[in-house]
Structure 1
């Protein structure tokens, strides 16, 4: 099956007419890059690429691009022009691996034209990709996942198959689609009794409340961990004065709050550094400000006074932290986070299926009329499907892709800039998945001297150097302020984390 006839398209016809083609002669709708050094460099690279298939599609792909769609990330990449942030206020459903970093990753992906998600855990990264894909699909956005290989691409299909939602993914291998209209119709038939009379608007509102409470409890859990660490550090700092005799703080200081004692210590230290001792006028000022009437207290060695003040501050701060710790523990003891995450996932998936049932059942009804009129009904359902493919399969059929609303690149640190540029040409927004434990080894034929010769001939910015940059490093050098979310995954109690999060 030719992929050119089975690709996602925009719902809005007017928008599609201006943005659907990457290669166009309509210069009023596209930005000219013929004089752009980086673009010329990439085109020259493509003319020296080895053929990826017998038709030479990869070699010639960049040669065919005379104009770059100004809505694509490639336009920003070549111009080094960062896009303005546009916040997406739609409620995000996070069924897979819900935690604070997953929520942040999804929101950041929809708020920014270019975003990075970093995670050393394969399951956490997979969760983030699936969460983004599902939110894109239910909001009528086209989305593509570009994986390192066809084998890794299958993991997303398998996970969605386990939750009975694999029909939203169209897996493209070697330019062949696995799309099945029968699979969707069968799914709709099985779900009809379950979803026909549901109030999804009300259910989404309830899910939002569940998610907000869960977020608050996760924040409390993180706060509790930080406070306990702070308490442990304060306990380690408590020491005993070592001047050979016991000295004590004046009773007036013992009545002060922790913050007031810290303020006294700062002033005391500043005066000692300045004058080497506490002058009489300062003793009078401290009498009114801190109630210190025992002037003999100032005869003690500064180091011992400093230790006493620090100890008193630590003791008071520890008491304050104990109150916070007890309060947070009481809240968390009444709320079992593990169970709520499972409950949240079940509700999220149920609502997602309900939304998809409404959408696809309506499209199926519309197909009846289209069939009568002799139109191609398959494209009607496929408009909102997600596409998943490997980098090689993508490049082989690159000339047939349209502009996706979102493209997610898995393991972006392994993608060279030439392959990456082809993907950017097809992306309105891009999400780069990164593993800090992976490194870029360079292109497969890095010993070829022609790459250095081309680089010297065009002399583009170092950020575009084909030999020494992955797509990830290139983008982070060009756009150093690209928002990045670091995924954090917690394993809780004795529960099986694989079952809990996947």
Structure 2
């Protein structure tokens, strides 16, 4: 019989090739075998005859036996109850359909096929080539004939709806955890795809290790990949520290694989001390999951404590500037006992009441009695002072009370954490979790010895290999070269995914059912040369694909974030590396103040230092000789940098500057490199040489990702070397950094205007809005309520994330030196009741960006006095170069006008 067309099963055995003839006669099968002329007669129950199978293309179908891919078939015949595979060698194998699992490739629809062909075409253009001028990546993609619909790559190509995993995993944390890391690990383990955004110093490697541990506890396999070996080597190093690196195989390129295979010794570590009875194991796991609840509560207290420390530091800095303002504007010392008894919240409410009543003229006896009843203000003498004096006094008391209240809260939290013995309990939890993890490893590797594998086993017996080494470490482009064909890991963790391009990333995603994409869009992305960008842009245009698949503008991380808007993601918020003042710049400038700084503000010599070099002709061809001289002749001796006791790094955006710096550094114990090369590293002291004499927003040196990485390399001290006048570089990141350092070092001494009193007037604005919402039938207040919503919505956009705003900051607290004003203007501006409606400012340096005045129709249109004041206010602000825009709430597209004005002033 022709086994391409027939399948004859006799007594549960495949006899097709032995049968010459078969016929059903009188309720029985008559079968004649080859080399035998006599037919045999079988009961119909003993013979199954299948005809005309469905022919399946092996390039479109995957077959799994015991969850392992069956590779190499050149023919797949579907006989209904049975599947027959034929191989190049002539070998054939028959399976009952119930014994195997089959799936059709994801490339069956035109859309996914089109995207895949586009990525394959990219692979041929961007990859390094071998001695035969063949693209390495193209070669990898040519082997990828069938894509499993269960793979992450299938989801990526088809833009499928993201799914949660069927069985929820209750995670434990043998490597310790904080709140963000806990949420990140749980999302990673329980979703097909998740994103972990890991800003500098937030413990992403620790999170990766916990995900690995939980995967193995649940008998899963994990691939950890990155675009470079250093990231995966870091994971291996941490596993070695805990003596569990034997679970991992460090593969990837041919050199790594050869080294790994050569160093096998067939031995396992002694795990007798790790063993645990199953009853004890189950009980310990239950206890650990239960104990997380209390630890999580304490972690929330820890975070609150850190946030309060941040707030205390910020308000103390702002208070220094307020004290300066107070000394310059208030010339009499006085004390009102009833005011000093109020808390900061009541002081703000009283401040609002006082200002609103002062607008109407002299405060009446009834209003004074109201304040006595509500606020307990029995010192009526305060009302005899000018409003400027009384309001400044209330503001001064607000700062004092707020600082005291934060200290009280901090003391209470510290006592709670000490009473719980938090540090001990967390260490104990981690120790017991590690015991559980190691007990699992002792169960898994109970044999004592392990197999020694040959190179061919990586593709012939990868199931067995991955059972022995459930964690595979590799680069993204080499992973498929290190695994069996069509093998699917349970999880793939893509580390530093902001530096992984979509071509190498997609290649690795073909080998996994679930993915954890780890990276930071605020750090340096993969670099795409201009000539490559031109080629790849032409390719995507020819395919007509959406922006998320654009090679030039996307890393793997940004591609997933753009493609899947509802992707489960976690920002690791707790920061453990830098001095609070150092990471404070990155937090305010790039992370929207979402980071929780866990380091302490110790009494170090200034953590932020700015050196200005004179402008001149020393900056040519990306080399600034004057900055090099300043670093070695002034900075290192003046700052008492001890290379023997401190790790020191000198970084610059430009390779040429680094080469010159390296020549001068010689054999000193100082690491000199570009900012790009320093990503992922840290030093106690970082010296940043900015090189440029003048910086514009679009300059390479001012790239926000580059500045974020540069600043966040410093642990204890950041020294910035910039050309004189850097504070005038408006709309630039380096300019913001210069002004941030000056603000925090109290070096803003020559300014003609005050910085914005952010914390005072942010709190004031919140209370004011509550009051305005309760005020009925006053058109001015209604207009401000409407505009508040408009401004809040606009500033929530990503391009304005380093801007904030306050309401009703007085001009008196903005104009420091009124010498530019006429007598009439000075009188108006220095009146404490003359205020801005809204003041938009830069969160980094607290300097004003734009004043927004709301001209409510009824309040302004028929009021000549008010119109005169408006004109005077405009002229005052113009004299001090503070931009202003007037908006009317009864006109359309005012939000668009505001957006355009903002774009104009921040350039």
Same fold, TM-score > 0.5, yes or no: yes
1:299-310 to 2 correspondences below 5 Å: 299-310=384-395
3-state SS of 1:312 partner: helix
Does the C-alpha gap of structure 1 residues 186 and 430 become closer, same or farther in structure 2, counting only changes over 3 Å?
A: closer
* Cα offsets for 1:9-59 (capped at 9, x unmatched): 589x999836xx6xx35xxxx574423553442243346565867897842
Pairing partner for 2:111 from 35, 44, 53:
35
3-state SS of 1:408 partner: strand
Does the C-alpha gap of structure 1 residues 241 and 249 become closer, same or farther in structure 2, counting only changes over 3 Å?
A: farther
Q: Distance in 1 between matches of 2:63 and 2:468?
A: 11
State whether residues 63 and 100 of structure 2, in contact with CA within 8 Å, keep that contact through their aligned partners in structure 1.
no
State whether residues 8 and 142 of structure 1, in contact with CA within 8 Å, keep that contact through their aligned partners in structure 2.
no
3-state SS of 1:35 partner: helix
Pairing partner for 1:463 from 531, 545, 548:
548
Residue 396 of structure 2 corresponds to 311
1:93-108 to 2 correspondences below 5 Å: 93-96=172-175, 98-108=177-187
1:59 correspondence with 2:138: yes
Pairing partner for 1:117 from 188, 192, 197:
197
Residue 207 of structure 2 corresponds to 128
State whether residues 8 and 382 of structure 1, in contact with CA within 8 Å, keep that contact through their aligned partners in structure 2.
no
State whether residues 274 and 435 of structure 2, in contact with CA within 8 Å, keep that contact through their aligned partners in structure 1.
no
Residue 73 of structure 1 corresponds to 152
1:263 correspondence with 2:354: no
Residue 526 of structure 2 corresponds to 440
Residue 562 of structure 2 corresponds to 477
State whether residues 41 and 454 of structure 1, in contact with CA within 8 Å, keep that contact through their aligned partners in structure 2.
yes
**How far has the Cα of 1:405 moved from its partner?**
2.8
Q: Distance in 1 between matches of 2:470 and 2:147?
A: 25
1:392 correspondence with 2:472: no
1:489 correspondence with 2:576: yes
Q: Distance in 1 between matches of 2:64 and 2:224?
A: 16
**How far has the Cα of 1:332 moved from its partner?**
4.2
Residue 823 of structure 2 corresponds to none
3-state SS of 2:575 partner: coil
Number of equivalences: 465
Q: Distance in 1 between matches of 2:419 and 2:294?
A: 12
Q: Distance in 2 between matches of 1:337 and 1:478?
A: 41
State whether residues 250 and 297 of structure 1, in contact with CA within 8 Å, keep that contact through their aligned partners in structure 2.
no
1:321 correspondence with 2:406: yes
Q: Distance in 2 between matches of 1:78 and 1:228?
A: 46
3-state SS of 1:17 partner: strand
Runs of 5+ in structure 1 lacking a partner? 365-375
Does the C-alpha gap of structure 1 residues 242 and 157 become closer, same or farther in structure 2, counting only changes over 3 Å?
A: closer
3-state SS of 2:111 partner: coil
**How far has the Cα of 1:145 moved from its partner?**
0.8
1:17 correspondence with 2:101: yes
Please report the RMSD computed on the Cα atoms of aligned residues, expressed in angstroms. 4.8
1:223 correspondence with 2:304: yes
Q: Distance in 1 between matches of 2:64 and 2:212?
A: 18
Q: Distance in 2 between matches of 1:269 and 1:86?
A: 58
State whether residues 143 and 385 of structure 1, in contact with CA within 8 Å, keep that contact through their aligned partners in structure 2.
yes
Kindly indicate which of the two structures has a greater share of residues assigned to helix: 1
Q: Distance in 1 between matches of 2:128 and 2:540?
A: 21
3-state SS of 1:94 partner: coil
Q: Distance in 2 between matches of 1:97 and 1:426?
A: 29
**How far has the Cα of 1:164 moved from its partner?**
3.3
**How far has the Cα of 1:399 moved from its partner?**
7.8
**How far has the Cα of 1:354 moved from its partner?**
0.8
State whether residues 407 and 431 of structure 1, in contact with CA within 8 Å, keep that contact through their aligned partners in structure 2.
yes
Which of structures 1 and 2 has the larger relative contact order (alpha carbons within 8 angstroms, sep 6+)? 1
* Cα offsets for 1:348-389 (capped at 9, x unmatched): 22210112333454999xxxxxxxxxxx99739718822222
1:195 correspondence with 2:267: no
Q: Distance in 1 between matches of 2:225 and 2:100?
A: 22
Q: Distance in 2 between matches of 1:346 and 1:484?
A: 26
Runs of 5+ in structure 2 lacking a partner? 1-61, 70-96, 450-460, 579-598, 603-681, 683-907
State whether residues 58 and 396 of structure 1, in contact with CA within 8 Å, keep that contact through their aligned partners in structure 2.
no
Q: Distance in 2 between matches of 1:449 and 1:335?
A: 60
**How far has the Cα of 1:82 moved from its partner?**
5.7
Does the C-alpha gap of structure 1 residues 450 and 286 become closer, same or farther in structure 2, counting only changes over 3 Å?
A: closer
* Cα offsets for 1:287-313 (capped at 9, x unmatched): 543355666644432232222323334
3-state SS of 2:478 partner: helix
Does the C-alpha gap of structure 1 residues 313 and 14 become closer, same or farther in structure 2, counting only changes over 3 Å?
A: farther
1:143 correspondence with 2:143: no
Kindly indicate which of the two structures has a greater share of residues assigned to strand: 2
State whether residues 6 and 379 of structure 1, in contact with CA within 8 Å, keep that contact through their aligned partners in structure 2.
no
Residue 44 of structure 1 corresponds to 121
State whether residues 398 and 422 of structure 1, in contact with CA within 8 Å, keep that contact through their aligned partners in structure 2.
no
Residue 435 of structure 2 corresponds to 350
Does the C-alpha gap of structure 1 residues 158 and 440 become closer, same or farther in structure 2, counting only changes over 3 Å?
A: closer
State whether residues 137 and 477 of structure 2, in contact with CA within 8 Å, keep that contact through their aligned partners in structure 1.
no
TM-score by length of 1: 0.73
State whether residues 116 and 485 of structure 1, in contact with CA within 8 Å, keep that contact through their aligned partners in structure 2.
yes
Does the C-alpha gap of structure 1 residues 94 and 277 become closer, same or farther in structure 2, counting only changes over 3 Å?
A: farther
